[in-house]
Amino acid sequence: MKSSEELRNRLRSIDHRSYPAYKDLKERYDFGDYVLSIDHVQGDPFAAPSRLSVIVPAKRAAFPAEFYDTPEKRITLQDHLTRIFGAQIVRGSKQAGGSGKSGLLTVSRCGQEVLERTACRVENGAVTLRFEAGFPAYGRTIDARGLEKMLFDILPVCVRNSLYFRNIRQEQLREAIYLCEDQQYVRKQLDKLGLCAFIANGSILPRQSGISDKPMNQAVPFVSPASMEVTFVLPHRGTIAGMGIPKGVTLFVGGGYHGKSTVLQALQNGVYNHIPGDGRELVITDASAWKLRSEDGRSVTNVDISPFIRRLPGRRNTADFSTEDASGSTSQAANLMESIESSSRLLLIDEDTSATNFMIRDRLMQAVVSPEEEPIIPFIERVRSLYEDLGISSILVAGSSGSYFYVADHIIQMKEYIPLDITEKARNAAAEFPVFSAETSAFVLPDKKRCPKPDTALKKNDRLKLKALGTSELSLGYNSVELRYLEQLRDSEQTLALAYILKKLELSVMDGRRPMEELADLLETQLDTHGLESLFEHGDVRASLARPRRQEILACVNRYRNLIFTK
């Protein structure tokens, strides 16, 4: 390790030299209260910025151990410090002028969810903060004075104001940690109380717009129907009340623009903890919940969709179904069976994003098209057995069909964003219109496990490039994986993490013997034990990954078009 003065002297010695001379700076430097590590130097001013990290020893950072003594609190602390550091460097970014990205300072931009990221790591009280910096230049000539200003004037202030407990707004950090403990308390209580989700009274569910995930101003606060209200005594907020959604089948209905889909969107994002002030802080959903929808055109590889699709034209085998271009119904059936494989215990379904023929088939249609001519067993005929045989609950949103009145345990009408329990009313109405009949056969899971083999073409590529396009797509070498219908992906850094995970699985884990569930178990154990940093080779850790869930990991694997399974 070099001293900070040695760094200063190095900088002055390369001033006005050609840009590649910056590469000589790659090293660790002792700044007294912290260590600055220059991990990677960009090739030219217009290339991706250089990667740096700051390491603050535990004694200097001095964060109380009770703020990071559980994984959830540690992740919350890391998230909070990343936000503070990001606010600090915004003020110092681009103060150095020059070509390309000169003077740029960036760190992960956190959204409304609290996610584990490689940007910040707290380990035994020591803090590592990773960020990017555009090393200044004019043309391709080094501007050493500009970089000296960044590293010796701007950066120390950012570090001092964000990574030391004594210097930050401690009450804001306590609020975040205490909220995390309250959220985790509710999450742990769901199963004990027979619930699959909870929405606290006073929650603000609507968002500002389609491009802003912040709470809508003057929105109607959520208030639970009295019949479904449950209370919790939280560790910090004390007694709260809200709507507890029991396990089983719950249906949300109502007119257009009255808040049905808004509730479902809040529930699908309730698998994550949220920051204070989000409005959905205490919207807590079973962490394994899966947003089920149709996905026209996706590839499907060796999935048993026979519980829903009995046969297809040309006698195609639905017990081992593969296609490069799935229809709405076959894609939704495959998505459901894959969600079971990923250990989901709750399905979230909106009729607007579902294939109609997969969801319902009324008696009139049955009379016109005989069962022998219809290959699809609609979801409405399986939703009860999914819960009773497999313990998988469903929360559905419907606005145009009352067919699910016959199979739902609880029916909630959204009226101007206020939920009303209309279960008895709906059941009485349904009794007067007996237009639905359903099968009652048990839901039997496939015996065969799917064991993927590695894509040998990837191993021939010595420089396998990874790329993420928002939350909609990733690329692994020359292969693209479309993810835009995975609605619970919240951050592009999760997408990039999926690219690294897929690469690791393909190159070193898949062997044709391990089933999909075991692959997910191995990855989760690795990430729990060694963190996201373990996905990088040769210790070349980047501040660009956020952890996806088990469900998204397997969904990504399933959408890889070169997926091959052992027969």
What is the pLDDT confidence band of residue 440, given thresholds at 50, 70 and 90? Answer: low
**What pLDDT score was predicted for residue 430?**
85
- Of the listed ranges 41-50, 66-75, 181-190, 221-230, the least confidently predicted one is 41-50
What is the pLDDT confidence band of residue 540, given thresholds at 50, 70 and 90? Answer: confident
**Residues 137, 144: Cα–Cα separation, whole Å:** 8
pLDDT greater than 90 at residue 91: no
Q: What is the pLDDT of residues 323-341, one digit of tens each?
A: 999 999 999 999 999 999 9
**What pLDDT score was predicted for residue 442?**
87
When pLDDT is averaged across residues 297-324 and rounded to a whole number, the result is 91
Residue 270 φ/ψ, nearest 5 degrees: -75, 0
What is the pLDDT confidence band of residue 459, given thresholds at 50, 70 and 90? Answer: confident
pLDDT greater than 80 at residue 97: no
Q: What is the pLDDT of residues 136-171, one digit of tens each?
A: 999 999 999 999 999 999 999 999 999 999 999 999
**What pLDDT score was predicted for residue 361?**
78
Q: Which of 264, 236, 317, 302 is nearest to 73 (CA)?
A: 236
Here the contacts of 171-178 (C-beta below 8 Å, separation 24 or greater) are 172/80, 172/276, 173/67, 173/77, 173/80, 175/276, 176/76, 176/77, 176/79, 176/80, 176/275, 176/276, 177/67, 177/73, 177/76, 177/77, 178/235, 178/236, 178/237
Domain boundaries, the chain: 2-168, 290-431, 452-565
How far apart, in Å, are the Cα atoms of 457 and each of 260, 476, 492, 497? 46, 11, 26, 21
Pairing of the two strands 393-397 and 346-350 = parallel
Angle ∠(250,253,255) on CA atoms, nearest 5: 170
**What pLDDT score was predicted for residue 437?**
60
Q: DSSP letter at 454?
A: P
pLDDT greater than 90 at residue 364: no
pLDDT greater than 80 at residue 1: yes
Average pLDDT, the chain: 94
Q: Which of 305, 290, 308, 424 is nearest to 361 (CA)?
A: 308
Q: Contact, 206 vs 262, CB < 8 A?
A: yes
What is the pLDDT confidence band of residue 10, given thresholds at 50, 70 and 90? Answer: very high
**Residues 506, 503: Cα–Cα separation, whole Å:** 5
When pLDDT is averaged across residues 503-526 and rounded to a whole number, the result is 96
Structure tokens at 432: 């007067």
Structure tokens at 269: 């994002």
Q: In 369-491, where does DSSP find H-type helix?
A: 383-390, 423-431, 456-459
What is the pLDDT confidence band of residue 372, given thresholds at 50, 70 and 90? Answer: low
Q: What is the pLDDT of residues 340-358, one digit of tens each?
A: 999 999 999 999 999 999 9
- Of the listed ranges 231-235, 359-363, 529-533, 555-559, the least confidently predicted one is 359-363
**What pLDDT score was predicted for residue 36?**
98
Confidence (pTM): 0.95
Q: DSSP letter at 225?
A: -
Q: DSSP letter at 358?
A: H
Task: Compute and round to an integer the Cα radius of gyration of the chain.
Answer: 26
CA 236, chain centre distance (Å): 27
What is the pLDDT confidence band of residue 366, given thresholds at 50, 70 and 90? Answer: low
pLDDT greater than 70 at residue 510: yes
Q: Contact, 395 vs 348, CB < 8 A?
A: yes
**Residues 459, 457: Cα–Cα separation, whole Å:** 6
How far apart, in Å, are the Cα atoms of 138 and each of 92, 98, 144, 259, 449? 19, 5, 10, 54, 59
189 vs 457, more confident: 189
Starting from the edge strand earliest in sequence, which strands make up the sheet with 346-350, in order? 290-292, 346-350, 393-397, 249-253, 410-415, 418-421
Q: What is the pLDDT of residues 379-414, one digit of tens each?
A: 999 999 999 999 999 999 998 888 899 999 999 999
Q: What is the pLDDT of residues 177-225, one digit of tens each?
A: 999 999 999 999 999 999 999 999 999 999 999 889 999 999 999 999 9
